Chain A
């Protein structure tokens, strides 16, 4: 490891990390919104849409994020859908992970006792109020660990965005290496940067989960 060299390029690596984080957060926002929509469609079994979405989710979950990324990057502009690479990257991340988020959210929805939905219906609360005021507040907390784990996965997997020229952490590292040839220093530093964020985060999630379990066991 060449620490002097590392010090000199560290600001650039941090810049790459920033792009990684922003892409992850943007992707997460998209995944959450889309995931909620998908979960609703599946829980309410909206005719036709429900079947279409189920097939799409299956297809997205069984194909590589990289292939989806290339599809969106190269094919969409052909049909007049033009975004910059960064937006495409965030969209692809969001779309891919929305399928996993949807599954978690669906589980959360279905874990809300049937009587809660029925009480809402008897009180005449509309679908939207039922969802927002009664169901979501009960469905979300138990799936927060799963959603956070997905966020961590997104953070790590966002490295593929470099394949469509986005200068996130991996792209920046590669770029620096292609001129300095300091592979060991650069790639080790990059790996540690991912690790330093992802590891404590996932340990934190597990702690939170254990506390949640303890509480429900005792209650």
Chain B
């Protein structure tokens, strides 16, 4: 099988990151480290800032203060910077970061195969034929080898999300961010997507930061579980500890409420 990820480096390091929407402080001097090759499940109530953490790491949002490092390179987009444009160095560091969205965000005007090849060809300058070959391999990995020429609209939600995962892998990332990738799916389609993520985790040493509401999945895949609320990390540790025997009262309340659903 083809190599799934770039070299595992030193992962993600967020320190003292503050993010505001107007006067509303969404991230409050949050510290969060994900070591190279580590799999961290990020959990917490809705509105606690999980998506915002991922979006800041992906440079989709600017932050007020703090530092975000990817493989040692400072990449944070600062709100007071004169331009939102990435320097060449930052752009290079960001090439190692992939993100999978809740809503898949596949390009509907392209076939599945073109969705997978456009970035490698245009950004990394990979030869077209080579990119297609790699893409075919990745589609096999996510169980969609037969769908290369289909358009996204013809696929089920679960299939689209698997394509989206393959698309992010096509860039050979060293860091992958997952934002509730099964939340938009019908319940019967959740399993196939989680299975694919498990497979990727097993076959590569890519660093993963996974926001999820699937506690069983968080327990299986996470080397560590991080619970956040109100824009900061409340508790973190090994899955069996945080999920089964949390110390913090707020974590206990969150898990209790989840169980009662």
Partners in one complex: yes
Residues of A bordering B, CB below 8 Å: 113, 115-116, 118-119, 121-126, 129, 133-134, 137-138, 219
Q: Kindly identify which residue among A113, A116, A125, A138 contacts B119, using a CB–CB cutoff of 8 Å.
A: A125
- Quick check: A124 and B108 within 8 Å, CB to CB? no
On whether the beta carbons of B59 and A121 are closer than 8 Å, the reply is yes
A137 / chain B contacts, CB cutoff of 8 Å: 109
Listed A/B pairs (22) with beta-carbon separation below 8 Å: A113-B103, A115-B103, A116-B105, A116-B107, A118-B58, A118-B60, A119-B105, A121-B60, A122-B97, A122-B99, A123-B118, A123-B167, A124-B95, A124-B119, A125-B122, A125-B123, A126-B123, A134-B110, A137-B109, A138-B107, A138-B109, A219-B153
B102 (CB) vs chain A CBs: closest residue: A115
CB A27 to nearest CB in B, in angstroms, measures 29
A43 to B59, CA, bound (A): 20
Q: Give every chain B residue within 8 A of A133 (Cβ-Cβ).
A: 107, 110, 118, 122
Which residues of B are found within 8 Å of A124, using beta-carbon distances? 91, 94-95, 119, 123, 171
Q: How many residues of B contact A (CB 8 A)?
A: 25
Contact A119 B101 (CB under 8 A): yes
Known: A129-B118, A129-B122, A133-B118. A122 touches B107 (CB 8 A): no
Residues in B neighbouring A125, C-beta threshold 8 A? 118-119, 122-123
Q: With A and B bound together, what is the CA distance between A219 and B123 in angstroms?
A: 33
Bound CA–CA A123/B95 (angstroms)? 7
B98 at the interface (CB under 8 A from A): yes
The answer to whether A123 and B119 touch across the interface, beta carbons within 8 angstroms, is yes
Shortest Cβ distance from A114 into B: residue:
B105
User: Given the complex of chains A and B, what is the CA–CA distance between A173 and B153 in angstroms?
Assistant: 53
State the CA gap A11–B68 with chains docked (Å).
73
The answer on a CB contact under 8 Å between A115 and B108 is no
Which residues from chain B contact A113 at a C-beta distance below 8 Å? 103, 105
Q: Which residue of B lies closest to A133 (CB)?
A: B118
Considering the complex, give the chain A residue whose CB is closest to the CB of B106: A119
Residues of A within 8 A of B168 (CB): 122-123
Contacts of B107 in A (CB 8 A): 116, 119, 133-134, 138
A138 and B60 within 8 A (CB): no
Contact A122 B108 (CB under 8 A): no
Which one of B98, B110, B122 contacts A126 once the chains associate, using CB atoms below 8 Å?
Answer: B122
| CB-CB nearest 7 A-B residue pairs | A115-B105, A119-B105, A123-B119, A137-B109, A124-B123, A122-B99, A129-B122
Residues of chain B contacted by A123 (CB below 8 angstroms): 98, 118-119, 123, 167-168, 171
Per-position binary interface string of chain B over residues 77-117, scored 1 when its CB falls under 8 Å from any chain A CB and 0 otherwise: 00000000000000100110111010101111110000000
Does A122 contact B98, Cβ atoms closer than 8 Å?
yes
Are A115's CB and B101's CB within 8 A?
yes
Chain B residues contacting A116 (CB-CB under 8 Å) are 105, 107
B residues near A118, Cβ cutoff 8 Å? 58, 60, 101, 105
Residue of B nearest to A121 (CB): B60
